[in-house]
Amino acid sequence: MLFVLAQYWPYALGAALLGVAVGWWAASPAGGRRRGAGARQR
Amino acid sequence: MIQHIGEVLAVIAAAFAVGSIIGWIAYRWIDRTDYAFDQRDLTDRIGRLFGIRTPPPAEEPVATGRPAIAPTPAAARPVRPRPEPAAVEPRPETRAEPALRPEPTRAVTVVPIALPEPAPEPIRLESAAKSEAAEDLRKRVQSSSRAIAWREARDERLRPGEAAALIAGGAVAPVEPEASAAERKGNGKPPPEITAPVPAPPPPGRGDDSPEHDEPWAAATAVWPMDLRQPGPPEARPVGILALPASGAAETRRALPPVATPPLAADDIWSDEDEAEASPAARPAAPPPASEDRPPSLEAAPPERDNLRRIKGIGQGFEKRLNQLGIYRYAQVAAWTAGQQAWISAELGFPGRVERDEWPAQAGRLAKGADARATSHAEVVRDP
């Protein structure tokens, strides 16, 4: 695993940044946190 | 990479997962809005993952302002073929209220819901920060003109009731710092309420449709400081005095603190003449000073005009200004004397620009059909 991380860390970094963006979006109201059944009553 | 594809994908997936969590936490840290958590929403989402339909909650029907129809259970519903839809369209007024006219073939139970009258909410400040702002505003109100305070109250985006109470001299319940800190944590203490005298309702003799009755602040906003410039003798103008409702605010008037408003001098009144003096845009565009150095200008634009922007140093703005001065042709520029060049430079606001860039020489070359830039002075000097 360390060998893989040492060699392919840019991919891991890119995936982490992408994950940050996706997590940010998902936590935002646009990402569906306020959608769903209960959102209509809020 | 092929031999390590499993590990690589695992690392990427792990990094993505960790990044997602970090991003989620980061957003929630920045946007710390306390959204209401809905357990039913979460249950519904989880149930949908497994194909389980979440039963609707057994809660009282939503009050929509009209009587709701509670359908009877399916067992009690009479098994009857659905009748053909009526060919006659119902009238619009009956279509507007479908809940009031159920279909006659269905057994329905109309459950009228008595909607409680919404209780009037007390005027209160929603947060301690807002109450601090209100306290600050109240101090400014007591020390300044009330008309200015009204404008500030508008800018502070206080609700009209709050602003009215503040300007009426009402005291916001004092909030100690530690109390306000505990208030932010939400220990259940109600927010501070304004103990200002609420304007009493108008006497019955006055109609309810008067604007003072519905909005006591409307009369105040009607006399805005900007409206002080009214025709008429100066003594008839309202000067910075808040116009309180003429009736129905006896308590408010009595509770008003004595505000020492100095009488306005004649210079304090902002008049049309002052505005004409203050704003340069209001002043008429002064014609360029008549001087013997002013170059001769054309009265109207000639049918073919030269592209003055080919002269090095003349851009869009200078070309526009020169055209306003009646200069359209290269020959005009080429004929400028030294005094006229100085006059033009001063007129354009850049003294020495014409002489430095040698506009007349460039224009002379352009008038002969040559390129101004190829033989311009600057290029000759830099590249001898």
Residues of A in contact with B16 (CB under 8 A): 15-16, 18-19, 22
In terms of pLDDT, which residue wins out, B301 or A21? A21
Distance of CA B316 to the CA centre of its chain: 35
* Contacts of B185 by beta carbon, 8 Å cutoff, 6+ apart: none
Predicted confidence at residue B154, as pLDDT, reads 62
Interface A-B: count of C-beta contacts within 8 A: 105
The contacts of residue B242 (CB under 8 Å, 6+ apart) are: B146, B147, B149, B150, B167, B220, B223
pLDDT of residue B374: 45
Q: What is the pLDDT of residue A23?
A: 93
- Which range is least confidently modeled, B115-119, B293-297, B337-341? B115-119
The residues near B369 (Cβ < 8 Å, ≥ 6 apart) are none
DSSP B52: P
Assess whether B255 and B128 both reside in one domain: yes
Question: Which domain does B167 fall in, by range?
Answer: 123-191+217-223+241-261
| C-beta separation of B159 from B137 below 8 A | no
Same domain, B312 and B371: yes
- CB atoms A16 and B41 under 8 Å: no
Contact status, residue B51 vs residue B80, Cβ threshold 8 Å: no
Q: What is the 3-state secondary structure (H, E, C) of B231-250?
A: CCCHHHCCCCCCCCCCCCCH
Subunit contact A42:B36, Cβ cutoff 8 A: yes
Is the domain of B337 the same as that of B252? no
Q: What is the pLDDT of residues B259-276, one digit of tens each?
A: 555 555 555 555 555 555
Give per-residue pLDDT as tens, A18-27: 999 999 998 8
Quick one: B254 and B133 in the same domain? yes
Nearest to A23 among B8, B12, B22 (CB): B22
Q: Which residue has the higher pLDDT, B93 or A15?
A: A15
Q: Residue B31: which of A39, A29, A31, A20 has the closest Cα? A: A29
Residue B369 lies in a domain: yes
Which of A17, A24, A36 has its CB closest to that of B41?
A: A36
Chain B residues in contact with A21 by the CB 8 A cut-off are 19, 23
Query: Given the structure tokens 């408010």, which residue do they identify?
Result: B252
Same domain, B249 and B376: no
Task: Pick B351 or B243 by higher pLDDT.
Answer: B351
The residue out of B200, B231, B261 marking a domain boundary is: B261
All residues of chain A having their beta carbon less than 8 Å from the beta carbon of residue B36 are 38, 42
One domain, residues B252 and B341: no
Specify the DSSP class assigned to residue B199.
P
Could you tell me if B196 and B166 are in contact, meaning their C-beta atoms sit under 8 angstroms apart?
yes
Considering only CB atoms, A19 lies closest to which of B4, B18, B40, namely: B18
Does the pLDDT of residue B50 top 90, yes or no?
Answer: no
Question: How many Cβ atoms sit within 10 Å of the Cβ of residue B339?
Answer: 13
Indicate the residue of A17, A34, A36 with minimum beta-carbon distance to B19. A17
Domain match, B141 and B257 both = yes
Is position B166 within any domain? yes
Show the tokens assigned to B166: 């503040």
Among all residues of chain A, which has the CA nearest to that of B43? A37
**H/E element holding A27?**
helix A9-27
Shared domain for B246 and B161, answered yes or no, is yes
Asked if the Cβ–Cβ distance from B19 to A34 is below 8 Å, we say no
CA distance to partner chain B, nearest, from residue A30 (Å): 12
In chain A, residues with a C-beta closer than 8 Å to the C-beta of B25 are: 23, 27
Dist. CA B301–CA B305, nearest whole Å: 7
More confident residue, B365 or B34: B365
Q: How far apart are CA B227 and CA B215, in angstroms?
A: 19
Chain B residue with Cα closest to A28: B27
- pLDDT higher for B95 or B30? B30
In the predicted structure, residue B286 carries a pLDDT above the cut 50: no
Same-domain pairing of B256 and B131: yes
The pair of structure tokens assigned to B95 is: 């279509």
Domain membership of residue B92 (yes or no) is no
| C-alpha torsion B38→B44→B46→B48, nearest 10 | -160
Chain segment B162-213, per-residue pLDDT in tens: 656 665 665 444 444 444 444 455 554 555 554 545 555 555 544 444 444 4
CB B206 within 8 A of CB B187: no
Residue B10: inside a domain, yes or no?
no
If asked whether residues B254 and B312 sit together in one domain, one would say no
> Are B152 and B247 within one domain?
yes
Q: How many structural domains compose chain B?
A: 2
> In this predicted structure, what is the pLDDT of residue A32?
64
Residue B56 within any structural domain of the chain = no
Please indicate, yes or no, if residue B67 is contained in any of the structural domains. Answer: no
pLDDT tops 60 at residue B86: no
Cα(first)–Cα(last) distance of chain B, in Å?
Answer: 62
Task: List CB contacts (< 8 A) between A36 and chain B.
Answer: 38, 41, 44-45
The answer to whether residue B136 is domain-embedded is yes
Across chain B, mean pLDDT equals 65
Q: How far is CA B33 from each of CA A28, B28, B81, B132, B207, rounded to the nearest angstrom?
A: 11, 8, 52, 21, 44
What confidence tier does B19 reach under pLDDT thresholds 50, 70, 90? very high
Select the more confidently predicted residue: B74 or B341: B341
What separation, in Å, do the N-terminal and C-terminal C-alpha atoms of chain A show?
Answer: 46
Q: What is the pLDDT of residues B229-262, one digit of tens each?
A: 445 554 544 444 444 444 444 554 555 555 555 5
Residue B280 in domain: no
Statement to judge: residues B257 and B331 lie in one domain: no
Q: Which chain B residues are Cβ-neighbours of A5 within 8 angstroms? A: 11
Write out chain A residues lying below 8 Å of B35, CB-based. 33-34, 42
